[in-house]
Chains A and B, each alone.
Chain A
């Protein structure tokens, strides 16, 4: 079972790691302050723009960037490409961290987070029309699913060298988890399909407040396609990054294929979007080069650029893969961010720009995520491949 994956090892508290911890510390301190003073003082939010970067970036964009686990699982388990298996664990780890951090962001953003437990338990009050309810329930469930999918990585290590009690339980539970894993993995594909599309449905309810270049009945499909493309891109990004940072041999041929899916996916995304806009007649707004028309064209170029880059350089290098993946991730991130903030028009007189503490809380969350990622891959069997012989 997954014998290739091995802990990276090496010292944990490097200088870079201390910087991450410092940023994480600032973020946590500001979160405590935010609960003391309320959202009015601590953020740039207002009644016109009640949702800010904690939702548009940390949740809507962050969970899409955390779709690597979902995207690669589709290739490995449905497309039956077992040789892509080495990419699964790091992808699941980033997904688990990304979704957990998104959940934590929501807790900081909510006005009454102490009522959060009511969302999964007040079953008889569930408003089944609410896309947000579906997103909330699905994300809560998916966080559990991801950590269960990842748990063999921890238990494999603990069953060998954990403290006695942990060792005993790991040995007992590991076979059970491995046996049930198929149905957990299936759930791990169903849940993102549901909530990533529902993140699109969510902004359909903004109706006339959403600019017509973004408002469409196809928002769920567009959001789903965006998160898949971003998922493949982020796996490429992460693999190249860890191969450089931790000195591993990258799985180049596989990464090329994933980048191909992401790049062609971008073209399909634009085809669907433009066809829908042409059909509804709203494409005319793209001709106006105001803020909205301009953002639309930037998004469109970003979606198509990775394919152009790929076709222009038929022999990809690590560097060109890396750049291509970043462009795909940017395209998806910008599309999602625009749908939630830039294309959202609450009316004249309303403005939003995140406050400095608001930004540092988001930075703090990213730092926490990176710090845990580094600690886990150094201590647990996540990343496959041997260090190249020197």
Chain B
């Protein structure tokens, strides 16, 4: 019995090691934006809330109007991103303080949704754009669960639902055009450019004589591992709905742990071999005694 007990504890030890590697030094490299990365820079101090970008987005993406809000069916008036809306302007107002804020997919450098998606329906592709391919989607909504910005939306009203999210007007990019929202903005509150140029531009605005207009920070430069959509704001970012300040990307923890456990699939194969060997040696005993 002694040796069997030892085998049992060996098995348990193997199982524990399999799940316990998280602390091991299998460090996962921090992801950086691809070399061809493009982006948007949105500046709340320039936005006048005209929603030209919202209308242009609907036209470019052939999205239906959302008439459930203001105007009782007369106007397209989405109050947040939803199954009809890939880009939205929201208003923050508290006392004298007010600010508009534009919301769309942030096109994370290390996106949680891409890490979540089973068959790669969501993928980070050309220009670093996070795009969606419905043919590989089973509608599990795990992308919605994990997105720290609550961007992906689900067509709840449909029997054959899709995920709805900003894809950076990837078809327009392919034609050499910029996204509909940046093209149409009359105040250049949101501008299109290469990721590197936009970071430079953001920091230029934070350092020259306009600097006092801003909270001294480019949101998205470091937050959640970095995002290709960057924000400048006159009021704190939390008030605009950006809840998280952590600099580690969301997938970093899970992928460090999972890669530790499943590195080369050696762990599971070894455990299977061990289980099989112990079973093989113990074979017959269970019937004998029963």
Q: Residues of A at under 8 Å CB distance from B?
A: 1-2, 4, 35-41, 45-48, 50-51, 74, 76-80, 82-83, 85-86, 109-113, 115-116, 118-119, 122, 125-134, 136, 182-183, 185-187, 189-190, 193-194, 197-198, 201-202, 204-209, 217-221, 224, 344, 346-347
Q: Are A224 and B290 in contact (CB under 8 A)?
A: no
B288 proximity list for chain A (CB < 8 A): 82
Q: In whole Å, how far is A285's beta carbon from the nearest beta carbon of chain B? A: 16
Q: In whole Å, how far is A220's beta carbon from the nearest beta carbon of chain B? A: 4
Does B207 sit within 8 A of A, measured CB to CB?
Answer: no
- Give the interface SS of chain A, mostly helix, strand, loop or mixed: helix
Chain A residue at smallest Cβ distance from B151: A47
Chain B residue at smallest Cβ distance from A206: B146
Residue with the greatest number of chain A CB neighbours at <10 A, chosen from B22, B83, B116, B258: B258
Q: Which of B62-70, B98-106, B155-163 contacts A (4 or more CB under 8 A)?
A: B155-163
B18 proximity list for chain A (CB < 8 A): 193, 197
Q: A182: which of B83, B241, B262, B283 is its contact (CB, 8 Å)? A: B283
Q: Are B138 and A127 in contact (CB under 8 A)?
A: no
Q: A185-B279, A217-B256 are in contact. Are A82 and B287 (CB under 8 A)?
A: yes
Q: Are A205 and B146 in contact (CB under 8 A)?
A: yes
Chain A residue at smallest Cβ distance from B277: A186
Q: Which of B33-41, B52-60, B188-196, B267-275 contacts A (4 or more CB under 8 A)?
A: B267-275
Q: In whole Å, how far is A194's beta carbon from the nearest beta carbon of chain B? A: 6
Q: B159: which of A37, A45, A48, A205 is its contact (CB, 8 Å)? A: A37
Q: Are A82 and B148 in contact (CB under 8 A)?
A: no
> How many A-B residue pairs lie within 8 Å, measured between CB atoms?
222
A118 proximity list for chain B (CB < 8 A): 119, 136, 138
Number of residues of chain B lying within 8 A (CB) of chain A: 77
Alpha-carbon separation in the docked complex, A353 to B285 (Å) = 50
Alpha-carbon separation in the docked complex, A251 to B255 (Å) = 44
Does B72 sit within 8 A of A, measured CB to CB?
Answer: no
Q: B15: which of A125, A219, A224 is its contact (CB, 8 Å)? A: A224
Chain A proximity mask over B8-39: 1 for CB below 8 Å, otherwise 0: 10010001101110110000000000000000
Q: Are B244 and A127 in contact (CB under 8 A)?
A: no
Q: A132: which of B118, B134, B243, B285 is its contact (CB, 8 Å)? A: B118
Chain A residue at smallest Cβ distance from B20: A221
Q: A38-B161, A40-B156, A125-B136 are in contact. List 13 more A-B contacts (CB 8 A).
A: A47-B144, A48-B150, A77-B279, A78-B7, A80-B8, A83-B290, A111-B137, A111-B140, A126-B118, A205-B251, A207-B146, A209-B148, A344-B145
B150 proximity list for chain A (CB < 8 A): 47-48, 346-347
Alpha-carbon separation in the docked complex, A111 to B268 (Å) = 31
Alpha-carbon separation in the docked complex, A224 to B271 (Å) = 15
B114 proximity list for chain A (CB < 8 A): 127
Alpha-carbon separation in the docked complex, A86 to B112 (Å) = 46
Q: A221: which of B16, B138, B255 is its contact (CB, 8 Å)? A: B16
Q: A190-B272, A205-B116, A217-B23 are in contact. Are A78 and B282 (CB under 8 A)?
A: yes
Q: In whole Å, how far is B140's beta carbon from the nearest beta carbon of chain A? A: 6
Q: Are A208 and B159 in contact (CB under 8 A)?
A: no
Q: Are B253 and A85 in contact (CB under 8 A)?
A: no
Q: Are B254 and A224 in contact (CB under 8 A)?
A: no
Q: Are A113 and B139 in contact (CB under 8 A)?
A: yes
Q: A78-B278, A82-B290, A221-B16 are in contact. Are A186 and B141 (CB under 8 A)?
A: no
Sample (8) of A-B pairs whose CB atoms are under 8 Å apart: A47-B156, A48-B150, A50-B145, A85-B287, A112-B161, A194-B268, A205-B112, A221-B20
Alpha-carbon separation in the docked complex, A217 to B150 (Å) = 23
Alpha-carbon separation in the docked complex, A47 to B150 (Å) = 8
Chain B residue at smallest Cβ distance from A40: B156
Q: A190-B268, A206-B145 are in contact. Are A201 and B285 (CB under 8 A)?
A: no
Q: Are A205 and B115 in contact (CB under 8 A)?
A: yes
Does B154 sit within 8 A of A, measured CB to CB?
Answer: yes
Q: Are B271 and A190 in contact (CB under 8 A)?
A: yes
A217 proximity list for chain B (CB < 8 A): 22-23, 253, 256-257
A347 proximity list for chain B (CB < 8 A): 150, 241, 243
Alpha-carbon separation in the docked complex, A36 to B243 (Å) = 37
Q: Are B282 and A80 in contact (CB under 8 A)?
A: yes
Q: Are A182 and B280 in contact (CB under 8 A)?
A: yes
Q: Are B290 and A182 in contact (CB under 8 A)?
A: no
Q: Are B287 and A50 in contact (CB under 8 A)?
A: no
Alpha-carbon separation in the docked complex, A126 to B18 (Å) = 22
Q: In whole Å, how far is B177's beta carbon from the nearest beta carbon of chain A? A: 29
Does B199 sit within 8 A of A, measured CB to CB?
Answer: no
Alpha-carbon separation in the docked complex, A118 to B289 (Å) = 45
Alpha-carbon separation in the docked complex, A346 to B117 (Å) = 19
Scan residues 204-263 of chain B and give those whose CB is less than 8 A from a CB of chain A: 241, 243-244, 246, 250-251, 253-258, 261-262
Chain B residue at smallest Cβ distance from A39: B156
Alpha-carbon separation in the docked complex, A133 to B16 (Å) = 22
B137 proximity list for chain A (CB < 8 A): 111-112, 115
Q: A193: which of B83, B153, B271 is its contact (CB, 8 Å)? A: B271
